[in-house]
Structure 1
Amino acid sequence: MSAVSPLLELTSDAWRVRLAPSLGGSIIDAQWRGHDVLRPTTDEHLAAALVRKSACYPLVPFSNRVGYGRFEFDGHAYTLQPNFPNEPHAIHGVGFQREWAVASHSDTALDLRLSHTPDASWPFAFEARQRFGIEGDTLTLTLSITNLDARRAPAGLGWHPFFPLHTELGDTRLATQWESMLVSGPDQLPCERVAPPALQALDATVIDNCFTGWSRTASIDAPHHRIDIAASDALRCAVLFRPEGQPFYAFEPVSHPNNALNGIEPSMHVLEPGATLAAQMRFTLSPPTTESARTQS
């Protein structure tokens, strides 16, 4: 990916959000009342155009892994080019590795577009659109994909937001509901479906799993604020990723589970030519829950 072009900003009394259309249509940082809501991108990572080190990037036309980059659809076999170093799989689609065009920009909203022609990374033509908006204490993200191909096409989408941990200031806790957890094998592909474990403080958690039957709502109690997350119906799953020893975690609302193109349910959406799949996610911020209130909940 080429060098990052000038950043664009959304600003209000409550929010300051910086975005990089040329860096995968990603969010560079997002602050609410002076505090980082998302893990901010460092100057070094921005200069090196490392989109995976950004605060949040879009997942389109699929989320997570397509096992060994291979799948069959409508009687045809397809092979995708691996796109992560030292990984045999195709991961997270193509949107985060492309430059997005600016369709419109104001102080409180940004619209981006991406046109994809079939290539080794994805064999179907599509147009994707993103919209970022701030209003009051809410940041709203909208993402859509339209099938521009002459054939039916599988389609998926979601987001990969990273959140900071401030262990020295107190625990960060995630509250949500889901029906099952997918356990991955040594190849990092789902191999078993189990009952989800009880959620612990994220500061003490090491996890990288996809959850299905997600309730589409969640709350995050962090030292500086509370985040209430509301997602639209298309986002049926979520991935929780907290690597050991790192001061961040990711909570990723997505439309389908890992390796859904190879039979993991629920399957990806299928779009007829000209059809569109859209999703929305809202972050509503409020002052932090007190420690005593957390203990009593």
Structure 2
Amino acid sequence: MEHATVSTTDFGGTAWRLEHAGASATIAALGATLLSWDPGIGESVVAGYETPEELAEGEGSRSRILAPYPGRIKNGTFTWNGRAIDLPKASDGHARHGFVSGLEFEPISMGSTLQLRAEHVGNDEWPWTFSIDVIYALGEGEGGKRTLSVDISLTNLASETAPAGLGWHPLFTFPGSPKITNLSLQVPARTLLATSPSLIPLPGEAAYSGIHAPVVVDRIGDLEMDAVYTGLVPNDEGVVRTRITEPRSNREISLIQEPGESPFVVVWTGEGLTRGYREAIALEPYSHIPDAVNRADSSGSIALAPGKTRTMTATITFA
């Protein structure tokens, strides 16, 4: 059996190239960010950052690891155990997608997988120290499907319980299909989150809107989506598979997630991108609802005790 190999490369800073059976992935040290994934077809199906400047700027959160919270925090503020927290805000006035994308990760293991680690030391903006590990692995699944898996683990190193949420923000594209117009989408979900215009979930039960499962969009066309789904329905193997399909080639990209670890999935059609507008679609697993720290129904579940670790695994397949 052919084993994966890891080599060091450069992307305006350290990066690594993971290779296995003709497939390859490139990962930057900054944010442990996936830059590309070629599943053995000679082109990347991940619409990642193309230059170091793009990576540093972070527009579109392309393949960024989202921690210690995914999604938005309303007004960038919350109170935790009596302590008022005020976070840096995006252009919409809310905090967004955590901040580990700005950390430099170091290699812990470079064997058949690539394991990276970074540490945040508590400060005024986020007073809880934590470490975060990200493991990338290439493989082959059922029927010869190529796979890329990402395992994210956050350990609370603080002396008190801290909020800790995880997510991942990959954007996907099909080579030879320059726009997402003709793609089809299937999401095995029973619930769509109702949000404000700035994508903050509505208070309480008003946030949860029942829908028929699965959600099927035969042709994305001009549809604009930035939708958060939950009530995910696992298949016979106990995992949730969200699919996008390109009809001309009959190629399919799937996101596989464990509903116990990441019970939310976001579909975003890339509105606002200055490069590659409507050329890629994001499928994003989340461990928690956006703004969980401000919600009575979620702040308990996002709490992580001292010394404990929260883990989320996502696998991408291409066939």
Question: Does TM, scored on the shorter chain, surpass 0.5?
Answer: yes
Distance 1:266 1:175, change over 3 A: farther
Distance 1:20 1:27, change over 3 A: same
The partner residue of 1:241 within 235, 248, 268 is 268
CA deviation after TM superposition for structure 1 residue 54, in Å: 6.5
Which residue number in structure 2 is paired with residue 293 of structure 1? none
Look up the equivalent residue of 2:193 and give its one-letter code.
Answer: L
Distance 1:168 1:68, change over 3 A: closer
The partner residue of 1:70 within 72, 77, 80 is 77
> Is residue 2:202 matched to residue 1:193?
no
CA deviation after TM superposition for structure 1 residue 91, in Å: 0.9
Which residue number in structure 2 is paired with residue 178 of structure 1? 189
Question: Conserved in 1, the CA contact under 8 Å of 2:253 and 2:318?
Answer: yes
Distance 1:41 1:79, change over 3 A: closer
> Is residue 2:121 matched to residue 1:111?
no
- CA root-mean-square deviation: 2.4
The partner residue of 1:35 within 38, 43, 46 is 43
CA deviation after TM superposition for structure 1 residue 44, in Å: 6.8
Distance 1:188 1:102, change over 3 A: same
Question: Conserved in 2, the CA contact under 8 Å of 1:59 and 1:159?
Answer: yes
Q: Size of the alignment, in residue pairs?
A: 279
> Is residue 2:136 matched to residue 1:129?
no
Cα deviation, 1:69-127, whole Å, max 9, x if unaligned, reads 11122333322222x3x232111111112111111223x42111011111244221111
Distance 1:117 1:242, change over 3 A: same
> Is residue 2:38 matched to residue 1:7?
no
CA distance in 2 between counterparts of 1:227 and 1:186 reads: 29
> Is residue 2:232 matched to residue 1:214?
yes
Distance 1:4 1:49, change over 3 A: farther
Question: Conserved in 2, the CA contact under 8 Å of 1:24 and 1:57?
Answer: yes
Distance 1:16 1:264, change over 3 A: farther
Question: Conserved in 1, the CA contact under 8 Å of 2:47 and 2:173?
Answer: yes
CA distance in 2 between counterparts of 1:43 and 1:91 reads: 22
CA distance in 1 between counterparts of 2:220 and 2:309 reads: 35
> Comparing 150-159 with 209-218, which one deviates more in the overlay?
209-218
Runs (5+) with no aligned partner, structure 2: 1-10, 141-145, 234-239, 272-276
CA deviation after TM superposition for structure 1 residue 68, in Å: 0.9
CA deviation after TM superposition for structure 1 residue 182, in Å: 1.6
Which residue number in structure 2 is paired with residue 294 of structure 1? none
CA deviation after TM superposition for structure 1 residue 41, in Å: 2.4
Question: Conserved in 2, the CA contact under 8 Å of 1:41 and 1:53?
Answer: no
CA distance in 2 between counterparts of 1:169 and 1:127 reads: 37
Question: Conserved in 1, the CA contact under 8 Å of 2:85 and 2:125?
Answer: no
> Comparing 23-32 with 183-192, which one deviates more in the overlay?
183-192
> Comparing 121-130 with 211-220, which one deviates more in the overlay?
211-220
Residue correspondence of structure 1 range 158-169 to structure 2 within 5 A: 158-164=167-173, 166=177
Look up the equivalent residue of 1:211 and give its one-letter code.
Answer: Y
Look up the equivalent residue of 2:316 and give its one-letter code.
Answer: F
CA deviation after TM superposition for structure 1 residue 32, in Å: 1.1
> Is residue 2:145 matched to residue 1:145?
no
CA distance in 1 between counterparts of 2:135 and 2:59 reads: 20
Distance 1:131 1:52, change over 3 A: farther
Identity of aligned residues (%): 25
Look up the equivalent residue of 2:123 and give its one-letter code.
Answer: D
